[in-house]
Amino acid sequence: MTNPPFQPDPAQQRILDHDAGPLLVIGEAGTGKTVVLRERFARLIEGGADPERVTLLAGSRRARDESKTAILRRLERSLPGVRVTTMQGLAHQLVSRHPDLLGYGRAPKILDATDQFALVQDLLHGERAEEWPAYGDMLALKGFADEVRKFVLRAQEALLDPDRILQEAGDAGLPGWRDLAGFYRRYLDVLDAQGAVDFAGLVVQAAVAAAAADRPFDHVLVDDFQDTTFAAERLIARLSPLSLVVAGDPDAHVFSFQGMTDAPIRRFVERFGSALVRLPNRHRGVASIEAWRLPHTSEEHAAVARELRRIHVADGVPWNELAVVVRRNGPHIGGLVRALDDAGIPRSQAGAGLSASAAPATFPYVLALRWIVADPGRRDDMVESVLTSELGGISPAAARSLLRLARAGGHAPAHALEIDEGLADPERSALSELREILRQASGRRRSVLDAFSVLWQGLSYSRRLVEAAETSAQARVDLASVLAFSRLVGEVGASSSPSIEAFLELAEVSEGAPAAGAEGDRGREEVRVLTAHAAVGLEFDTVMVAGAVEGDFPSLTRPEPMFDLSALAGIRSRSEINRFRLADERRLFRSAVARARRRVVLTASDPHGMESDEAVASRFVEELGVAWARAPMGMAEDPVSVGEAAAAWRRTLGDATLEAADRLAAVAGVLA
């Protein structure tokens, strides 16, 4: 099949015609930045450029794979190699190809996140507490090791060596950082002695190799440059290609929490002496935006599920052109996933950093483990999730009734788990079973493996999962996630810190851990459930943004890193930090909204069904100029699922005022 020819607008044509030197391309979502970079790549090859000396750097592995596929389709011929990669991939190529230029006898070993964490933890265990006056009592803590691990990565990404850290820490009045700078130096020395590099050091070393080698590429194209590092900026500069085209949107910078910065794109013209092209035309179209508010989270999830099915059935939109965007992964999205499953909607989860402990199928076990170690105040916050999850299995309405009974009796909300009043026999039996299993598991909290064994063997959820896997492909994926989770439990259970607390701490700090399941395939007929960060760069017909409430959009409660490099420039006030975060969250929200070509639906509710909608609705929705409205209710004459159709038929059958022919037709429907 022949691809339609690319029809550039005047600004895009300037990019295609660019001959030599650096060029910066700025454009918001949908203006064709990625498409024109791919077209430029293809035209360079068609114009006689050596395919081995043209490279396109994508912002993620998913974007890399999509660009490579699109370019090969565009060229309509095979090539020995298409140099489409990520910044890390390019760095790996350069370092592996030129180890001699870096003083290595052979290509260095590259530490992944797990190996790097293990190395940092091992080195900290060997440190003398008296040589760390400020942090000596933390050296054995996993959380502290993870903070130090992130610090040495961020420092390398920011091109800060130990001596500079030491000097700037002294100037900023941060005495505890002197010990940190010393450890940083020892850490780098150990890596050098082992012939190894971590992910951040890989990019630093690649810049050295690029400067020492003959020009590795004639033409370099870089996408999504708004989220990069100073080390990557140096690498790009030292490649010294004949032509360099960098594209991005400074107003779409959303990965600062991962150490990324927008400073390189904002100073690119000045630093590289670059020309500038702004893309003014939005080719994706302008999506309509609606905002719905509902009394309770369960009703919000049901409304999202019904609207997705309605769009698919009534508008004929394929499942894979629909997405649900949430602020973050975690056990709280279990209700949303269950609502989609109950509505018969095929779905997949995908997201950066979705580890085994965050997969939806494992959240009942994570929730149970958190309950076991939670203090009374935390249990008050968790109890409704426990009751309505696969653990308790009761309806949101029944859970709210138990909460009211607990409050009426003068008890804390967590006491609702001990109440049976007003429940049907199956619900009463399920809660009784849950209470007993949680008590047994609590007695084994010193070993996460023993506690999880009690949960796995005792919870009816485990039995349902195994039984469903015999007939359902999705259930088999869910079971695989639980098996991956159990392996993680086993690893911690066999370690020197086998407690539930240690397991949960490790699960929370394992930034960059391998995903439990594969990222969703856009070719499969399924709705994508994505975090706002995982949705960056994707495009759909319709996007449902669930949880458009304060606390999610924006979320200002993310813990500050223990060693924030910005502290070297002076201590920031809480108000300054919050202003910075608010701007970051606003960009993230607008990025989520920009994922849709045709329609965006924002939804909001109160998780406890007690506060007013106005008190929790996101301020960002008002900034868009969108008015909140009540969600449309499912109409009897407009059923979009078998359940709704059956309910409509039963109502028709029971309505004696209707014509006999209509009621007889309803009988046929009910019996079908």
**pLDDT tens-place string over residues 617-654:** 899 999 999 999 998 876 555 565 566 667 777 777 77
What's the pLDDT score for residue 672?
61
**0.75 exceeded by the pTM?**
no
Q: What is the mean pLDDT of residues 476-489?
A: 83
For residue 320, the 8-state DSSP code is: G
Least-confidence region, from 18-22, 52-56, 126-130, 666-670: 666-670
115/441: higher pLDDT: 441
Phi and psi at residue 600, to the nearest 5°: -125, 135
Percent of the chain with pLDDT over 70: 89
Which helix H or strand E contains 301, and what residues bound it?
A: helix 297-314
Q: In 10 A of CB 386, how many CB atoms?
A: 23
What's the pLDDT score for residue 295?
87
pLDDT in tens, 328-378: 876 667 788 888 988 889 988 654 334 555 566 788 898 899 899 988 877
What's the pLDDT score for residue 517?
36
* Ranges 117-126, 267-276, 600-609, most confident: 267-276
Q: Is the pLDDT of residue 291 over 80?
A: yes
* Ranges 359-373, 437-451, 556-570, most confident: 437-451
What's the pLDDT score for residue 520?
46
Q: What DSSP letter does each residue of 609-626 carry, written as one string?
A: S-S-HHHHB-HHHHHTTP
Q: What is the mean pLDDT of residues 273-295?
A: 91
Q: Is the pLDDT of residue 660 over 80?
A: no
560/49: higher pLDDT: 49
Say if CB 95 and CB 102 are below 8 A apart: yes
For 373, the 3-state DSSP assignment is: helix
Phi and psi at residue 203, to the nearest 5°: -70, -40
How many C-alpha atoms does 168 have within 13 Å on its Cβ side? 17
What's the pLDDT score for residue 273?
95
| β partners of residue 58 | 86
Q: Is the pLDDT of residue 146 over 60?
A: yes
pLDDT band at 247 (very low <50, low <70, confident <90, very high): very high
* Ranges 106-110, 320-324, 362-366, 611-615, most confident: 320-324
What's the pLDDT score for residue 23?
97
d(CA 648, CA 633): 14
118/416: higher pLDDT: 416
Q: What is the overall mean pLDDT for the chain? A: 86
Phi and psi at residue 333, to the nearest 5°: -85, 0
Q: What is the mean pLDDT of residues 147-159?
A: 95
644/244: higher pLDDT: 244
Indicate left, alpha or beta for 609 from its phi (over 0: left) and psi (-120 to 50: alpha). left
What's the pLDDT score for residue 47?
93
Q: Is the peptide bond before 554 cis (omega within 30 degrees of 0)?
A: yes
Q: Is the pLDDT of residue 510 over 50?
A: no
Q: Is the pLDDT of residue 551 over 70?
A: yes
First to last CA, the chain: 43
Helix, strand, coil share (%) of the chain residues, nearest 5: 55, 10, 35
Percent of the chain with pLDDT over 90: 51
What's the pLDDT score for residue 89?
92
What's the pLDDT score for residue 612?
46
What's the pLDDT score for residue 524?
72
Q: What is the mean pLDDT of residues 417-438?
A: 91
What's the pLDDT score for residue 509?
43
What's the pLDDT score for residue 331?
61
Beta pairing, strands 527-531 & 628-630: unpaired
Say if CB 227 and CB 265 are below 8 A apart: no
Say if CB 330 and CB 358 are below 8 A apart: yes
* Ranges 260-274, 290-304, 474-488, 544-558, most confident: 260-274
Q: Is the pLDDT of residue 513 over 50?
A: no
Q: How many residues does the chain have?
A: 672
Q: What is the mean pLDDT of residues 288-305?
A: 92
Q: Which two tokens stand for residue 484?
A: 């991956």
Beta pairing, strands 527-531 & 243-248: unpaired
Q: Is 454 exposed, middle or buried (0-12, 13-18, 19+ CB in 10 A)?
A: buried
Give the helix ranges, DSSP H, for 59-138. 61-75, 87-97, 113-125
What's the pLDDT score for residue 21?
96
519/173: higher pLDDT: 173
Residue in this structure with the two tokens 């469903």, named with its chain if needed:
468
What's the pLDDT score for residue 293?
92
* Ranges 15-29, 92-106, 458-472, 576-590, most confident: 15-29
Q: What is the mean pLDDT of residues 75-91?
A: 85
What's the pLDDT score for residue 638?
59
